[in-house]
């Protein structure tokens, strides 16, 4: 039996955390693996590991948790567990684990979960990451564009494994088994909601979606926008909605407890981000056969998922006019919406949990 230790900062309700937990739980179902999850802390809103998975929380292992103490606890935990493989999600945690395990003989498998160019292009962060790469036996990237971030001497260590489509979206798609024909082939008849999901942070750039919708809102009086999510940028978005007189057309209902249910009846899904890794939210919308529009943002996540005009539309980052034209293109053409939605749904096969977990098993 292989002992596998996963390490991440917490299990808060984010994409990286959900992927880690999905892989860990699938491994744990097999008699071949004994799985433990190590986290720095417990957050207020977290995913709950299934029964049978051991979890160790560093903050509970020490009375006074400082940066140095955290490294010591990681080191002692690895010595106690003596895992065959250590899999570390997020580059900040990769650096921390590498520091903690100096001279122990343990190597780690790192996992990039965001755009490394944002925080690791220069300075101390880059120096530490390159140092840590020497202590990684592999680095799992979500896209080839993430692989290109690393110097050539490290690219041989990189393996591309995409994200899985989670069970609730597969089930919802099965419920909707008959793909709905896009209603309203003429622009003056189309009705429904355009949706976006994600934390309300500035880099998610929901402001750009609001501004793009403003350009076309008068032409489509029965179309509204709903952005599901919560975060520190809410006040800014509310001001934007007020400024453009869209209080009755753009809605911010907060976090959704049933995303698949809430977005499944949308006519268009939009990902307007300035930067992403491989966005689970976009993949989930595609799994529901929704026609999608996404920015072609670094480091290539949307571009690796979308063939422009075939299973989605790509627009330049921050370009509200291009976004408005993409929205208009889909709203005016029900046949195109329907075709793109059907093609988007093929992601349920290419990114099934079985396929992605098999790739992880082969790597391990």
Give the model's pLDDT for residue 14: 85
Residue 325 CB-density burial (10 A; 0-12 exposed, 13-18 middle, 19+ buried): middle
Give the model's pLDDT for residue 189: 59
Within this chain, do residues 157 and 171 fall inside the same structural domain, yes or no? no
Within this chain, do residues 71 and 156 fall inside the same structural domain, yes or no? yes
Give the model's pLDDT for residue 177: 59
Give the model's pLDDT for residue 3: 96
| CA dist., res. 250 & res. 210, Å (int) | 7
Is 98 a residue whose pLDDT tops 60? yes
| CA dist., res. 254 & res. 272, Å (int) | 17
Q: pLDDT by residue (tens digit) across 283-324?
A: 999 999 999 999 999 988 999 999 999 999 999 999 999 999
Tokens 């780690």 correspond to what residue?
A: 108
Task: Over range 235-248, report the average pLDDT.
Answer: 96
Within this chain, do residues 245 and 299 fall inside the same structural domain, yes or no? yes
- Among 120, 136, 161, the domain-final residue is 161
Within this chain, do residues 239 and 141 fall inside the same structural domain, yes or no? no
Q: pLDDT by residue (tens digit) across 157-207?
A: 999 999 999 988 998 888 875 445 444 434 445 789 999 999 999 999 999
Assess if residue 361 is contained within a domain.
no
Both tokens assigned to 316 = 């330049």
DSSP letter string, 113-179: -S-HHHHSSSHHHHHHHHHHHTTEEEEEESSHHHHTTS-HHHHTTEEE--PPPPHHHHHHHHHT-SP
Within this chain, do residues 317 and 193 fall inside the same structural domain, yes or no? yes
| CA dist., res. 15 & res. 271, Å (int) | 15
Cα separation values, 18 from 10, 13, 113, 141, 150, Å:
11, 7, 11, 16, 25
pTM for this predicted structure = 0.88
Domain count within the chain: 2
Which residues form the domain of 72?
2-161
Q: Are 274 and 295 in contact (CB under 8 A)?
A: yes
User: Average pLDDT over the chain, rounded to whole?
Assistant: 93
| CA dist., res. 169 & res. 283, Å (int) | 10
- Among 161, 190, 224, the domain-final residue is 161
Residue 289's domain is classified under what CATH number? 3.40.50.2000
Task: Over range 141-151, report the average pLDDT.
Answer: 95
Give the model's pLDDT for residue 186: 42
Within this chain, do residues 179 and 128 fall inside the same structural domain, yes or no? no
- Among 161, 189, 221, the domain-final residue is 161
- Number of CB atoms found within 10 A of residue 362's CB: 9
Q: pLDDT by residue (tens digit) across 250-291?
A: 999 999 989 999 999 999 999 999 999 899 999 999 999 999
Assess if residue 359 is contained within a domain.
no
Percentage of the chain exceeding pLDDT 90? 83
Give the model's pLDDT for residue 176: 78
């Amino acid at each position: 039996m292989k002992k596998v230790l996963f390490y991440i900062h917490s299990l808060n309700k984010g994409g990286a955390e959900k992927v880690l937990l999905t892989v860990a739980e699938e491994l744990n179902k097999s008699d071949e693996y004994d799985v433990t999850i190590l986290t720095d802390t417990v957050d207020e809103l977290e995913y709950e590991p299934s029964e049978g998975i051991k979890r160790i929380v560093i903050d509970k292992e020490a009375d006074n948790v400082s940066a140095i103490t955290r490294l010591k606890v990681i080191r002692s935990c690895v010595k106690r567990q003596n895992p065959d493989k250590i899999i570390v999600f997020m580059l900040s945690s990769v650096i921390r684990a590498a520091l903690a395990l100096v001279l122990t003989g343990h190597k780690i498998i790192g996992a990039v979960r965001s755009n490394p160019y944002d925080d690791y292009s220069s300075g101390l962060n880059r120096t530490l990451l390159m140092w840590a790469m020497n202590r990684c036996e592999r680095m799992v990237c979500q896209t080839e564009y993430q692989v290109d971030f690393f110097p050539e001497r490290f690219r041989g260590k990189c393996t591309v494994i995409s994200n899985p489509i989670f069970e609730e979206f597969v089930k919802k798609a099965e419920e909707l088994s008959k793909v709905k024909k896009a209603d309203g082939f003429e622009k003056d008849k189309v009705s429904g909601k355009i949706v976006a999901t994600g934390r309300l942070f500035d880099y998610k750039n929901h402001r750009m979606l609001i501004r793009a919708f403003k350009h076309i809102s008068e032409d489509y009086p029965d179309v509204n926008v709903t952005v599901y999510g919560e975060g520190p940028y809410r006040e800014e978005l509310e001001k934007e909605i007020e400024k453009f007189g869209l209080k009755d057309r753009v809605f911010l209902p907060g976090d959704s407890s049933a995303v698949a249910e809430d977005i499944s009846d949308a006519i268009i899904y939009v990902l307007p981000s300035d930067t992403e890794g491989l966005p689970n939210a976009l993949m989930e919308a595609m799994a529901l056969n929704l026609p999608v529009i996404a920015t072609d943002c670094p480091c290539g996540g949307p571009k690796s998922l979308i063939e422009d005009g075939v299973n989605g539309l790509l627009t330049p980052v921050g370009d509200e006019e291009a976004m408005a034209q993409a929205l208009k293109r889909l709203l005016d053409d029900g046949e195109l919406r329907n075709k793109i939605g059907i093609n988007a749904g093929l992601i349920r096969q290419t990114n099934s949990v079985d396929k992605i977990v098999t790739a992880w098993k082969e790597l391990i």
